[in-house]
């Protein structure tokens, strides 16, 4: 009896140990207070295709890449030197995919209907100057120009926001370009997702997400921050409450890899006047308000004279800051009079900067702790 009982226990233990892990859907908790963030299924592309599903580097078949669906000419790439003398930097692991002309990869993931999400992904161009990566969660779509390299080592990481309209969404990455070489196209080396909870203004501050604490997922092995691409509206912005209204990206940075004046996150204005961030707040016409904000440097080798221009209603303020790359910061204040029940706040850097130790990497002043509150009556 004892031997039979012990054998039964061993059998049950062996079966449970060999059982496959629950599918992604089963691990996704849809309770109201649960926040999911991390890689999507095989989001780092380290689960390799079967040898029969790949010919040299070209994936063969719609389901040849585990957990993904592919269409068109898609290559499975290992980072490092490539045939023909090229070099592909895979910043977030070992493997990546390259999308040829009109090629795409997609996957369906569970979400909470109506919630706001941000996709974080490593992406870079490999050949042409005008490569574009189209990101879609139907019916929402956005085109990310990859012509500008914000870091010189291929470590650019982007975020793109969307609002779920069902319990499952299809995430699509698509190369819209037509190049002479069909193998040319964007390189995608990591895909992660995070649920966002848009903050609200308070009685003491009319600005939402004033310290930029609510933002996209940061990849663990990324030390370059996350680029927030241009023309992101506030309803689906990967930085809740804020609009990226410029031609170039704004960088979301964290205190683990950068100097952040307050809290865990801030934004770096990395592309001069082409890198602007804005928010529309509720105001009372003809009422006077105080606007304060913090400007500093990220302690990332960004030196020189910096100038952040701030706009509110019809008032403009210029915050001058001399960066020595030591992580210092200063607080700036000015007053404005509201002219309507909605006031747009806008911030941008007047100058262009590159890191003193790497002229191929764009950088700029750090913006943090934006506050607006009614001015005290005299």
User: Domains along the chain?
Assistant: 21-197 (2.60.120.260), 199-378 (2.60.120.260)
Residue 15: predicted pLDDT: 37
Between 124 and 373, residue with greater pLDDT: 373
pLDDT class for 230, splitting at 50, 70, 90?
confident
Per-residue pLDDT at 6 exceeds 60? no
Does residue 256 carry a pLDDT above 80?
yes
Comparing 302 with 148, the larger pLDDT belongs to 302
Residue 235 has pLDDT above 90, yes or no: no
| Spatial contact of 184 and 192, defined as CB atoms under 8 Å apart | no
Query: What is the predicted pLDDT for the residue at 221?
Result: 64
Would the pLDDT of 23 be above 70? Answer: no
Q: Helix (H, G, I), strand (E, B), or coil: what is residue 140?
A: strand
What mean pLDDT is predicted for residues 34-55? 87
Evaluated on CA atoms 373, 350, 257, 234, the torsion sign reads positive
Instruction: Give per-residue pLDDT as tens, 273-332.
Output: 888 999 999 999 999 999 999 999 999 888 889 999 999 999 999 999 998 888 899 999
Closest among 267, 250, 319 to 291, alpha carbons compared: 319
Location of structure tokens 């990310």: 144
Q: What is the mean pLDDT of the chain?
A: 85
Query: Residue 153 has what pLDDT?
Result: 67
């Amino acid at each position: 009896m004892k031997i039979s009982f012990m054998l039964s226990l061993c059998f049950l233990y062996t079966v449970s140990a060999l059982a496959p892990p629950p599918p992604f859907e089963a691990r996704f908790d849809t309770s109201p207070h649960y926040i999911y963030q991390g890689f999507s299924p095989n989001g780092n592309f380290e689960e390799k295709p079967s040898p029969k599903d790949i010919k040299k580097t070209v994936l063969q078949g719609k389901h040849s890449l585990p957990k993904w669906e592919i269409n068109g000419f898609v290559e499975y790439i290992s980072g490092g030197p490539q045939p023909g003398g090229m070099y592909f930097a895979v910043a977030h692991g070992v493997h990546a995919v390259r999308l040829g002309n009109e090629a795409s990869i997609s996957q369906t993931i569970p979400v909470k209907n109506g919630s706001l999400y941000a996709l974080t992904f490593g992406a870079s161009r490999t050949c042409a100057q005008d490569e574009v990566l189209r990101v879609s969660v139907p019916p929402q779509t956005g085109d990310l120009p990859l012509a500008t390299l914000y870091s010189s080592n291929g470590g650019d990481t982007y975020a793109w926001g969307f609002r779920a309209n069902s319990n499952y969404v299809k995430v699509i990455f698509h190369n819209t370009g037509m190049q002479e070489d069909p193998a040319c196209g964007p390189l995608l080396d990591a895909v992660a997702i995070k649920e966002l909870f848009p903050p609200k203004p308070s009685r003491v501050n009319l600005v939402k997400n004033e310290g930029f604490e609510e933002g996209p997922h940061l990849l663990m092995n990324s030390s370059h921050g996350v680029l927030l691409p241009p023309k992101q509206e506030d309803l689906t912005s990967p930085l809740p409450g804020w609009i990226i209204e410029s031609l170039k990206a704004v960088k979301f940075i964290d205190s683990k890899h950068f100097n952040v004046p307050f809290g865990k996150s801030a934004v770096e204005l990395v592309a001069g006047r082409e890198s602007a961030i804005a928010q529309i707040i509720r105001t009372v016409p003809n009422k006077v308000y105080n606007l304060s904000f913090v400007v500093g440097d990220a302690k990332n080798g960004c030196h020189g004279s910096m100038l952040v221009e701030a706009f509110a209603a019809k008032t403009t303020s210029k915050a001058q800051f001399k960066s020595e790359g030591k992580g210092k910061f200063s607080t700036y204040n000015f007053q404005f009079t509201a002219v309507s029940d909605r006031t747009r706040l806008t911030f941008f850097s007047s100058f262009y900067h590159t890191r003193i130790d790497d002229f191929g990497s764009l950088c700029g002043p750090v913006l943090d702790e934006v506050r607006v509150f009614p001015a005290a009556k005299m």
